[in-house]
A and B are shown apart, each in its own frame.
Chain A
Amino acid sequence: MHLSHRSGAAAANAAAAIRVDSVTKTYRSKGHSVQAIETADLDIRPGEFVSLVGPSGCGKSTLLKMIAGLEAWDDGSITVNGGPASSGRRDTGIMLQSATMLPWRTVLQNVLLPVQVMGLDYPAAKARALELLALVGLEGFENRHAWELSGGMQQRASLARLLVFEPDILLMDEPFAALDEFTRERLDIELQALQSSLGRTIVYVTHNIGEAVMLSDRIVVMTPRPGRIVDVIPVELPRPRTEETLSSPAALALIARIRRELGFAPGAEAGEEVA
């Protein structure tokens, strides 16, 4: 029945950057199975910042990896810029919770890794990489090794690496979740500024409701067992948003609504995470 309700929207929004259509996913292992995603439908417009919010095991990370073509699904379809979702697309890039800097490479060489793997023009990319490192505040750190950088700086480098091949869809899997609160707040503010100047499409996975409210144009609320989308909420707070924005009545109402939809409970225990 969701199909009939979707067909009108599909026609009206043919230019969706990402279209998740009736996607299901079940993990099966030795006799018991876990429904990672019951049925997910989601359209994301070009230039939109959409957060996937929910507790561990709600399938938010799984959904993101599917969009990135790094995880298979059972039924339904995922379209990215009109084509099937797959890994290795130059128009999509993913950023993970760990910075995953290769320790034998300098910061600059790490930023240029996708360029080498994709076989792009290296000299042109190098100039771009240096600009991006300056943009994320790592000027002068090009020739350092990753382990010489703090966690926050490593994620800045990781962001530069994500941008170096100029994907127009950025898939971010809790990129700042492992950082301390102060660093995370600063990076959120910088990501917001970056987004307003670059205008990329961003799908951002987080379990931090405040962070989602601060960054997103829309918030997709997901709950576990089985993983499903329970609500998609537009965030109409003025930009640029700051931590103060989060204490405005509108933001507080939004946060309260999301918490209510998530059942207020922290949800699944860490040990039960599916993906």
Chain B
Amino acid sequence: MSTDVVARATRKRLDWALPIAALLVILAVLEVLARTGAINRLIFPAPTAILEALVGLMGQEFFWSNLGVTWFEAVAGFLIGGSVGFAAGTLIGLNSFARRSLYPLAVAIQSTPQVAIAPLFLIWFGFGIEPRVFFAATTCFFPILVAVVVGLNTADQDSRTLLLSFGASKWTMYRRLLLPASLPTTLAGVRTSVPLSLVGAIVGEFVGGNLGLGVLITTFNSQLKIDMTFAVVIVLALLGFGGYVLVELLDRRLLAWHRRRA
């Protein structure tokens, strides 16, 4: 047992060590290519130059206020889209009439590229922060809805029969069986949605906005400050990674049973 634990811990360390090593190698190659002039520094700055730009950016107040705007849009969008998606998914997952009437629509709408409707949001919600929040919300809504619907149908017939034999009410059936059984799938939906909320916020800013990291990217790009553009992209990557870590922690906490079984 203990050797097993050690083996697993070693494997976990290797899981991190290898990609980090690969990243360092790639960065070193890019550095050499940029410094020797093999690639145009204007098009692809050296990693050290990007790091320099990033450090410079972090000293600026406007950077933090723009970061805050994007972060808020993504988080608010995720919370709104996620909770509405969860509620709608629960309704559709538990009610067969709702499933037959609404679910096909939801699936059809989900396959529409949502970026296409982003400009509409400007017309509907104006040029403030609202269209971006709502856009981030719509991108999170469908993956969570679908995940909840699928999750609520994962409990097997024998488990349902068993709970019925104990005289379980609909609520008890949901609380003791359907809901816990749905959590792994729902969390998979959350995992998809968290980065999507960031995508939604950035796309919203691209389409029409005066604040946010998306605006910084378009501005730096138009000024050919490519190192700064890259610095903002790295910040976005870190934000996305932060979301990933949060979901992982939630997963570990809620789904230890599922993780260890798999």
Contacts and interface: CB of A to CB of B under 8 A. Distances in A.
For the complex, would chain B's binding face be called helix, strand, loop or mixed by DSSP majority?
A: helix
B164 A70 contact: yes
Interface residues of B, number: 21
Contacts, number: 64
Given A65-B161, A98-B156, A100-B161, 18 more contacts: A68-B165, A70-B165, A87-B164, A88-B166, A93-B165, A96-B161, A98-B158, A100-B162, A102-B176, A102-B181, A103-B257, A103-B258, A104-B257, A104-B258, A105-B257, A116-B176, A147-B261, A165-B166
B176 A113 contact: yes
B168 interface: yes
Main DSSP-derived SS at the A contact region:
loop
A63 to B, nearest CB: 15
Contacts of A147: 261
A117 B161 CA distance: 13
A118 B176 CA distance: 12
Interface string B139-171: 000000000000000001011011111111000
B172 interface: yes
Interface in B225-262: 257-258, 260-261
B166 A117 contact: yes
A117 B257 contact: no
A114 interface: yes
A72 to B, nearest CB: 13
B180 interface: yes
B158 A145 contact: no
A143 to B, nearest CB: 12
Interface of B: 156, 158-159, 161-168, 172, 176-177, 180-181, 183, 257-258, 260-261
Given A96-B161, A145-B257, A145-B261, A102 B166 contact: no
B163 A117 contact: yes
B167 A88 contact: yes
A94 B177 contact: no
B261 A117 contact: no
Nearest to A115: B166
Contacts of A145: 257, 260-261
A186 interface: no
Given A87-B167, A117-B166, A102 B180 contact: yes
Interface in A34-84: 65, 68-70
A94 B166 CA distance: 9
Contacts of A118: 166-167
**A-B CB proximity, top 5 nearest:** A88-B167, A117-B166, A104-B257, A100-B158, A114-B166
Contacts of B164: 70, 87-88
A69 B165 CA distance: 8
A243 B257 CA distance: 39
A87 B159 contact: no
Contacts of A102: 159, 176-177, 180-181
